[in-house]
């Protein structure tokens, strides 16, 4: 009974933190556009507040720059379990145009923290981001939560 | 005490550290740390053809991505001594102004968000979507448009596009009046914004403030006045105010949106016929060009070696605006909450701001230097 209740709660209230670790801002702008009345992220029970200590989902944008080498791991460690990481855009997956000779980026993000889902695009459309987060986040969070409970028992 | 805010913080969109020296709730001094998103774009561009570089210049900043490509293209057009055809110049003006509309509305909505005025935040973001629709209709993309090439623009537009854009602008205008009334007449915004974060004209000159931030403090400087397309073809006067506080900065941006709508209407009305692109042969040489981005002056200095870019230096507006924000606007702010909203009202864009700080190991001094000075 309690486990079922926990499942429902985890699926229906998802707190999101956006971590820009060195991109061009384009993906962040599209994430802000998600808050607008046209897409309205909050009607799906997703709340963006940019606080890693309360977040369930980390939306990582940008190729990892020198300054984020340790900070990204620290932010991931601060986020409470269960947590998932969604990489938004091309940069966290491959470094996009910045991963060339002369660029100071350390992409991909998966070298630093485990990534659960990735959305390609430069930048992806808001509807694509929304669809990906809604497909992955509730199920993965509930599954990770169940596994965590099982370990405690 | 020193209160650090950021790099990841509920109040900030982009990674940056704000160090506020506070006495009780009052902010005495502020310091800003950057360097979180430095990617080394100028270095990557060296030795590449313009076809590759224009793609990189677009990804300097996602919010004002359009203006960077236009300035890059115009710099290379100056080196090669050609000008884009008149129709291409008109199409550039339309895209530029649409980009300005969406950027200003985004900046204002962020300011309202930091004031915790959720209603205005939603209203403004809803209006912004119409500008994004128009951009997508015209160029095919929402954020990184890929619309400029050296010597013109990539695609032509026809009557149907223009009619759809005019329809979208009508929707923005309708919502806009309601939104300005909500802003100007409601006391709740005025209480939090009037007289907060004041920067006088002298301070704006000392801090090299540009764009709407400088214009709200009384600097009548808009580079669109000096641009050949705007000078010859359009009826344009810069909008400026005297007060220099958060309220003036926000209102200045709002009226610039109205002006941009007017400029787009002028462009669509007088749209000339003809080519949209001229072939360009780039010689070796040096050129520089300045343009008015949504946040102020963008300057490109480029040196070419035949088809290849030998060296390029880019100066973006936010570096001056953020600096003058830290030095003058945040100097005597009454509360920490006001400090965050003052920071948001200066419309910071970190992605284009990043610089390398060079530290001299012998003396321990560190300084931010122009790329051309570094040997």
Query: pLDDT tens, B204-243?
Result: 898 888 889 999 999 888 888 889 988 888 888 889 998 8
Percent of chain B with pLDDT over 90: 31
Residues of A in contact with B144 (CB under 8 A): 24, 26, 122-123
Query: pLDDT tens, B15-28?
Result: 888 888 888 888 88
* Nearest beta carbon to residue A22 from set B37, B43, B46: B37
Buried b (16+ CB within 10 A) or exposed e, B249-276: bbbbbbbbbebbbbbbbbbbeebeeeeb
Query: pLDDT tens, B257-301?
Result: 999 999 999 999 999 999 999 999 999 999 999 999 998 889 999
pLDDT over threshold 60, residue B370: no
Tokens of A143: 């599954």
Q: What is the pLDDT of residue B160?
A: 93
Percent of chain B with pLDDT over 70: 94
**B160-199 residues touching A, CB cutoff 8 A:** none
CB A20 within 8 A of CB A28: yes
Q: What is the pLDDT of residue B42?
A: 86
Angle at B62 between CA B98 and CA A77, to 5 degrees: 145
**Contacts (Cβ under 8 Å, ≥6 apart) of B182:** B119, B120, B123, B189
**B307-326 residues touching A, CB cutoff 8 A:** none
Please give the backbone phi and psi of residue B89, each rounded to the nearest 5 degrees, phi first: -60, -40
Domains and CATH numbers, chain B: 39-317 (1.10.645.10)
Cα(A113)–Cα(A106) distance, integer angstroms: 13
Tokens of A70: 């340790």
Q: How confident is the model at residue B363 (pLDDT cuts 50, 70, 90)?
A: low
Residues of B in contact with A51 (CB under 8 A): 8-10
Percent of chain A with pLDDT over 70: 100
SS3 state of residue A126: helix
Subunit contact A19:B8, Cβ cutoff 8 A: yes
- Angle at which helix A126-152 crosses helix A2-12, to 10 degrees, equals 160
Count chain A–chain B contacts defined by CB atoms under 8 A: 123
CB B23 within 8 A of CB B109: no
pLDDT over threshold 50, residue B371: no
Cα(A109)–Cα(B88) distance, integer angstroms: 40
Cα(B170)–Cα(B176) distance, integer angstroms: 10
* Nearest beta carbon to residue A36 from set B15, B61, B125: B125
Tokens of B345: 């009202």
Query: pLDDT tens, B139-178?
Result: 988 888 888 999 999 989 999 999 999 999 999 998 888 8
**Strand B152-153 to strand B148-149: parallel, antiparallel, or no bridges (unpaired)?**
antiparallel
- Angle at which helix B86-114 crosses helix B246-269, to 10 degrees, equals 150
Cα(B31)–Cα(B323) distance, integer angstroms: 9
**What pTM value is reported for the model?**
0.92
Cα(B179)–Cα(B188) distance, integer angstroms: 14
CB A63 within 8 A of CB A122: no
Domains and CATH numbers, chain A: 12-138 (3.40.50.12280)
CB B142 within 8 A of CB B132: yes
Residues of B in contact with A68 (CB under 8 A): 15, 36
Based on C-alpha coordinates, what's the Rg of chain A? Answer: 16
**Measuring CA to CA, which residue among A8, A18, A25 is closest to residue A41?**
A18
**Measuring CA to CA, which residue among B253, B257, B231, B242 is closest to residue B201?**
B242
Q: How confident is the model at residue A67 (pLDDT cuts 50, 70, 90)?
A: confident
The partner residues of B292 in beta bridges, in order of sequence, read B297
Tracing tokens 């109040």 back to the chain, one arrives at: B11
**Measuring CA to CA, which residue among B127, B110, B159, B136 is closest to residue B342?**
B110
Q: What is the pLDDT of residue B27?
A: 87
CB B345 within 8 A of CB B57: no
Cα(B222)–Cα(B292) distance, integer angstroms: 7
Q: What is the pLDDT of residue B355?
A: 67
Cα A17–chain centre separation: 7
Q: How confident is the model at residue B29 (pLDDT cuts 50, 70, 90)?
A: confident
- Angle at which helix A26-33 crosses helix B118-139, to 10 degrees, equals 120
pLDDT over threshold 50, residue A44: yes
């Amino acid at each position: 009974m309690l486990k079922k209740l926990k499942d429902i709660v985890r699926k229906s209230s998802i707190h999101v933190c956006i971590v820009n670790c060195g991109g061009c801002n384009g993906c962040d702008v599209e994430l802000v556009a998600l808050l607008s009345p046209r897409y309205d992220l909050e009607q799906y029970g997703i709340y963006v507040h940019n606080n890693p200590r309360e977040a369930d989902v980390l939306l990582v944008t940008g190729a990892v720059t020198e300054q984020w080498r340790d900070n990204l791991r620290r932010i991931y460690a601060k986020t409470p379990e269960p947590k998932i990481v969604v990489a938004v855009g091309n940069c966290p997956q491959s470094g996009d145009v910045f991963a060339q000779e002369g660029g100071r980026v350390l992409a991909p993000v998966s070298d630093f923290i485990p990534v659960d889902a990735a959305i390609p695009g430069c930048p992806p459309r808001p509807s694509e981001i929304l669809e990906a987060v809604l497909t992955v986040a509730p199920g993965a969070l509930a599954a990770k939560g169940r596994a965590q409970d099982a370990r405690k028992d | 005490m020193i209160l650090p805010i950021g790099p990841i913080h509920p109040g900030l969109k982009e990674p940056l550290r704000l160090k506020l020296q506070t006495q009780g709730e009052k902010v005495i001094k502020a310091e800003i740390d950057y360097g979180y998103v430095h990617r080394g774009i100028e270095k990557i561009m060296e030795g590449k053809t313009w076809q590759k570089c224009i793609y990189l210049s677009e990804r300097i900043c996602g919010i004002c991505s359009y203006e960077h490509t236009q300035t890059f293209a115009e710099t290379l057009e100056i080196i090669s001594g050609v000008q884009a055809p008149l129709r291409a110049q008109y199409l550039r003006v339309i895209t530029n102004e649409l980009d300005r509309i969406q950027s200003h509305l985004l900046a204002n909505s962020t300011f309202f968000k930091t004031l915790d005025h959720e209603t205005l935040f939603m209203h403004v973001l809803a209006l912004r979507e119409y500008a994004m629709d128009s951009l997508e209709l015209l160029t095919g993309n929402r954020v990184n448009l890929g619309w400029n090439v050296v010597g013109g623009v990539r695609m032509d537009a026809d009557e149907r596009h223009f009619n759809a854009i005019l329809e979208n602008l009508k929707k923005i205008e309708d919502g806009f009046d309601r939104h300005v009334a909500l802003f100007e007449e409601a006391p709740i915004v005025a209480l939090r914004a009037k007289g907060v974060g004041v920067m006088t004209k002298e301070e704006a000159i000392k801090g090299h403030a540009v764009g709407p931030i400088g214009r709200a403090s009384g600097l009548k400087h808009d580079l669109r006045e000096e641009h050949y397309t705007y000078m010859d073809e359009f009826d344009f006067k810069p909008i400026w105010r005297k007060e220099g506080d958060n309220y003036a900065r926000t209102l200045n941006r709002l009226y610039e949106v109205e002006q941009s709508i007017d400029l787009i209407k002028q462009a669509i009305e007088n749209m000339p016929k003809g080519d949209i692109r001229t072939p360009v042969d780039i010689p070796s040489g040096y050129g520089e060009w300045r343009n008015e981005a949504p946040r102020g002056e963008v300057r490109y200095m480029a040196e070419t070696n035949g088809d290849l870019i030998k060296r390029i230096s880019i100066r973006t507006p936010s570096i001056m605006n953020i600096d003058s924000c830290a030095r003058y606007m945040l100097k005597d702010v009454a509360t920490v909450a006001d400090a965050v909203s003052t920071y948001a009202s200066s419309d910071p864009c970190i992605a284009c701001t990043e610089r390398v700080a060079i530290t001299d190991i012998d003396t321990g001094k560190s300084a931010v230097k122009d790329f051309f000075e570094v040997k």
